[in-house]
Chains A and B, each alone.
Chain A
Amino acid sequence: QEQLVESGGGVVQPGTSLRLSCAASGFTFSRYGMHWVRQAPGKGLEWVAVIWFDGSNQYSVESVKGRFTISRDNSKNTLYLEMTSLRAEDTAIYYCASESIPKFRGSGTPVYWGQGTLVAVSS
């Protein structure tokens, strides 16, 4: 049974940094692309970033380029999101999600989701 557990969220001040983690279990993590998706309070879903199964490619939404970095450690079955220069508009629940097509070279559908971790950026 695929399980994804996010951690690392919290309340931070504008301009600071935070690293989110997503621990995967119940499937062969190294075979699947992974995504971060966020949801601001009372708002819709916003895709943030994707990393291919082997880490060879990463893509992100324009609003976080240069500030957020997605990475993965396949030896630890863990996905990361390094967030710098945080802004109030980055306040959201951050979900990690995995794809379901093994070794897919592209941005596939985020099929399995964790329960999310809340990031609140406030002075």
Chain B
Amino acid sequence: SSELTQDPAVSVALGQTVRITCQGDSLRSYYASWFQQKPGQAPILVISAENNRPSGIPDRFSGSSSGNTASLIITGAQAEDEADYYCNSRDSSGNHLLFGGGTQLTVL
């Protein structure tokens, strides 16, 4: 299929660990990237393909993948992590990109 599926909303207590997941058939062939978007701002990359963290992104952000599921893990969530998170990968053709529907993260 040509879709990436995310839970619409997830919450986490301050300082706890949260996992945001992304499912799709194409993830069996291609890595996912993850973007953070805060209201009124452009998305920023927090985890690149192959689960690398761009410079400037806190090391509490990490990525993992298994089968058709990719995960963004925030270890010790902070108030400033409250945002929408989108996964991104290629479709089965490898030529088109896909975004998941996004997950709204609330830090309690």
Which residues from B are CB-within-8-Å of A60? Answer: 96
Chain B: interface residue count, which band? 20 to 34
Interface of B is mostly: strand
- The contact string, 1 if C-beta is below 8 Å from chain B, for chain A 48-59, is 001000000101
B44 and A113 form a contact (CB under 8 A): yes
A45 and B49 form a contact (CB under 8 A): no
Q: 12 pairs across A/B with beta carbons < 8 Å? A: A44-B84, A44-B102, A46-B99, A47-B88, A47-B98, A50-B95, A107-B90, A107-B94, A107-B96, A107-B97, A109-B45, A110-B88
Compute how far the CA of A108 lies from the CA of B54 in the bound complex, rounded to whole angstroms.
15
A109 and B101 form a contact (CB under 8 A): no
Chain A: interface residue count, which band? 20 to 34
Interface of A is mostly: loop
Which residues from B are CB-within-8-Å of A108? Answer: 49
Interface, chain B (partner A; CB < 8 A): 33, 35, 37, 42-45, 48-49, 54, 84, 86, 88, 90, 94-102
- The contact string, 1 if C-beta is below 8 Å from chain B, for chain A 88-115, is 0000000100001000001111110111
A35 within 8 A of partner (CB): yes
Which residues from A are CB-within-8-Å of B94? Answer: 106-107
A61 within 8 A of partner (CB): yes
